[in-house]
Structure 1
Amino acid sequence: MEKSVTMNNTDQPNKPWVAYVGPFRFPDGGAAARRILGNALSIYEAGYDVKIISGQTKEEIKTEIPDFLEVISTEERTAEKLPQFLKRIIYLTMGRKTYNWFKSQNNKPNYIILYSGYTPYILWMKYYCKKNKIPLFFDAVEWYDQNSVIKNILSPYQWNIEFSMRFLLPKLNGLIVISEYLQKIYEKKSIKTIKIPPTIDTKTIIPTYTKVSKKPLTIAYTGTPGSKDLLNELLEAICYINENDIFVTLCLAGITEPELIAYDFFKKTKRTDSPSYIKAYGKINHDAAIKLVGSSDFSILFREKNKVSSAGFPTKLVESLSVGTPLIANITGDIGIYLLDGINSFVCQSPSKENITNAIERALSLQAHEYENMRFNARKTAIENFDYRHYTLSFKNELFK
């Protein structure tokens, strides 16, 4: 494994190659980086070299890069610590350094895929691609709702996403979309579209087939909730279940104790610290988060049904299933295609305290063999639906034809 952050010309005369471009960090860029890696694996399997043309600085690369990839840092992300108004001005110029890098190359890519960046990046890349007769695609993984756009109307990030999604994306050569919601929108606009959920290499992930804990049941949550993940009702349900004894332990990665205490449930109960059966670990690295989920009896995922959850797809669901950990969740977007109640998950009709309590009580009542079957089915779901190898032909025979 070797880091590659060179800015020099790269000449590989024979093998076709694909450039994955954007302001993201890679490979340390969270769910975005893992999305790109999964797609890059499929593209490489289809017979193309893949180069990640990232807007990050060289210093942002902190871990090893898969040896089949080359990563070039174009230093677009230099405004991270500047005042907000300067960041917004500089944001409008993003993509220029990436354009200049492409312009300097003798060996042009066969295809360019853009992830994020939106209007500034699209305009630079579209100009370059038109000039050099290179197909330009976009990897679409989100779409904010109207309330979010109105609330943040002064944010260039918000309005440029909206403008891009509505007017610029339909004019590109094709789209990779993460959900059926986005696929239906763009197919109506007669643009070539392939649907690819978050993907992984399941062969490199070792599941943990543990027996269900008699007491307490361990439930894990990983991530930064923000406004998308609903935790308040989960806290209510677990405290209700544990009123007379400890039946459930909740492990939270990505949330600090002060952030946890700020939830409405704790404010209403006037608690100044969390009970012993709720553990907030704060921010941990991705490997530790996967290990936590793999060693837990269930992971949880509760989200509101809205445009955001319909357009996106939670990477944490894929990762939980891949380590053989079933979920307790409500259905939003495409996840109902994969989560089967009582088979690889317990599904709540809505993320209310009552529904969550009922789901956890069902989990507590499982016999050991029933739980072992759920873990097996979770892993099987990941292998059959989210392994990158299933999508190689989608790139080769559909997007790149």
Structure 2
Amino acid sequence: MNKKVLYIGGFELPDKNAAAQRVIANAKILHEICEEVVLAGVGKDQGQVEFLSEPQSFDGILYYNVKYPKGYKAWLHYITTIEYIIKLIDKHAITHVIAYNYPGFALYRLHNICKKKGVKLLSDCTEWYEATGSPIRRIIKKIDVSLRMNTVQPKLDGLMVISDFLFDFYKDKVDNIINVPPLVDLSMKKWDIEVVANKENAINLIYAGSPGAGQKDRLDLIIEALQRILKDTNLKIIFTVIGITKEQYKANFNIKDDCFTAIDSFVNFKGRLTHLEVLSQVKASDYQVFVRDENLTTSAGFPTKYVEAISCGTPVLTNSAGSIVNFYEQGKTGFLLDNSSLDNLVISFKEILTKEIDIQSMKAYCKNSKMFDISNFKNQFIKFLEKA
């Protein structure tokens, strides 16, 4: 296809956050079917450099970084500016721009510019967060999100969404729309990394992600449920938590100091690790574990941690929130947890962890399913661009 695509957004390239994982995977499909693909993300280590004039490369794909906004003034500038995007459109003779969860004010301006230049503007929409922060920041953010979700995106040349919730919201508003979960490139060596087999007589559970203050993942409920199970059974459980430190967990979930004595006996907080280290830890575990309350944030999104666990060959214990059920097979890719109450969560955990399960067969099934590999979605991307 003689199309040149610019993919823009708040992703930390090449692989520093979940957003970057999604964009890189999508970009690899685009790289295969388009004449050129250019990425423009953000960098937290760029010092005072607002825009890098020279691109870098990852797996043959060019990418630029702009300075990550720090402070109110920088954030306000980021959600309104599009000057660097215009420079890249002109420099690379771009025909299509894909905006990843782009700020509404900037997206509105970009839509007008793209119409004048004859450039197709599409959106990759993966979230619908409630506004947080100071009162002024919440007001601005709420207006910006509403502008993006309700006004600008329905007017674009195409919309890529990550969940059934977003697809149902836009299907009657947008003619050109596709539903694409987070994807992975299974040809990369990191998915076949060798790990040391678990020789301990313990059930190894892992959480790898960013729970926030409970608005996404209820890490506090998991730990409390496991704590109860350990009191009532002879099970030995090791729960590894990646992405958050013990101090952050304590602050985010308002945990008292006297609760940590029991927690320390089975929970290992590792904080942030490299992506390769995370995958290695996940692959070595028996199950990835997370539970989510039903709300706007969890309904609109799709957990990257689920995709990466299955792709690593690790089954998942989770509840049925969001679009996971489309890619879930009971007893094969994992087991569903009942998080309607803490008591029910304890019961469902106990039923799973105390019965005889051939975990190696489940791991092999997950690994061989390849359900999130980029090769399965190539035709969708071709039709998406052709229709724009």
Shift of the 308–203 alpha-carbon distance from structure 1 to 2, 3 Å rule, reads same
The 3 A distance-change label for structure 1 pair 298 and 92 is closer
TM-score, length-scaled by structure 1 = 0.84
Matched residue SS, 1:343:
coil
CA contact (8 A) 1:53 1:71 kept: yes
The 2-side partners of 1:333 and 1:127 are apart by 33
Distance 1:297 1:258 in 2: 26
User: How big is the shift at 1:376?
Assistant: 1.8
The residue identity in structure 1 corresponding to 2:98 is I
Alignment of 1:96-135 (within 5 A): 96-103=83-90, 105=91, 107-135=92-120
> 1:222-247 CA distances to partner (integer Å, 9 max, x unpaired)?
12211211011211121122226551
**Quick one: percent identity of the two aligned structures?**
25
User: What is the distance in 2 between the residues matched to 1:120 and 1:321?
Assistant: 37
8 Å CA contact 2:223–2:263 kept in 1: the answer is no
Give the counterpart of 1:43 among 16, 23, 30. 30
1:228 partner letter: K
SS in 2 for 1:59: coil
1:371 maps to what in 2?
A: 359
Deviates more, 1:193-202 or 1:108-117: 108-117
Letter in 2 for 1:260: Y
- 8 Å CA contact 1:328–1:348 kept in 2: the answer is yes
- Contact kept? 1:22, 1:121, Cα under 8 Å: no
Q: Residues 256 and 195 (structure 1 numbering): CA distance in 2 closer, same or farther, change over 3 Å?
A: same
Q: Which amino acid letter does the alignment assign opposite residue 170 of structure 1?
A: P
Q: Give the secondary structure class of the aligned counterpart of 2:5.
A: strand
Q: Secondary structure at the match of 1:237?
A: helix
> Which consecutive residues of structure 1, in runs of 5 or more, have no partner in the other structure?
1-13
Alpha-carbon distance change, 231 to 223 in structure 1, aligned in 2, over 3 angstroms: same
- Cα 1:101–1:109 shift into 2, 3 Å: closer
- 2:176 corresponds to 1:192: yes
* Partner amino acid, structure 1, of 2:301: G
Q: Which runs of 5+ in 2 are unaligned?
A: none
Alignment of 1:68-147 (within 5 A): 68-73=60-65, 75=66, 77=67, 79-80=69-70, 82=71, 84=72, 86-103=73-90, 105=91, 107-145=92-130
Q: Give the distance between the partners of 2:93 and 2:44, measured in 1 at CA.
A: 23
Q: 1:357 to 1:48 in 2, by over 3 A?
A: farther
1:258-282 deviation line (CA, Å, top 9, x unaligned): 2334476953964467322111111
Determine the structure 2 residue equivalent to 1:9: none
Q: Structure 1 stretch 50-59 or stretch 215-224: which is displaced more?
A: 50-59
CA offset digits 1:149-175 (Å, max 9, x no partner):
997763533320121100000011010
Other-structure match for 2:285? 296
Which residue, 11, 23, 30 being the options, matches 2:17? 30
Further displaced range: 191-200 or 114-123: 114-123
State the partner residue of 2:161: 177
Tell me the number of residue pairs that the alignment of Structure 1 and Structure 2 aligns: 375
Q: Which residue of 2 aligns with 1:5?
A: none
- C-alpha change, 1:277 and 1:295, in structure 2 (3 Å) is same
Letter in 1 for 2:228: Y
Instruction: From 316, 319, 339, give the equivalent of 2:328.
Output: 339
Alignment-mate amino acid for residue 77 of structure 2: I
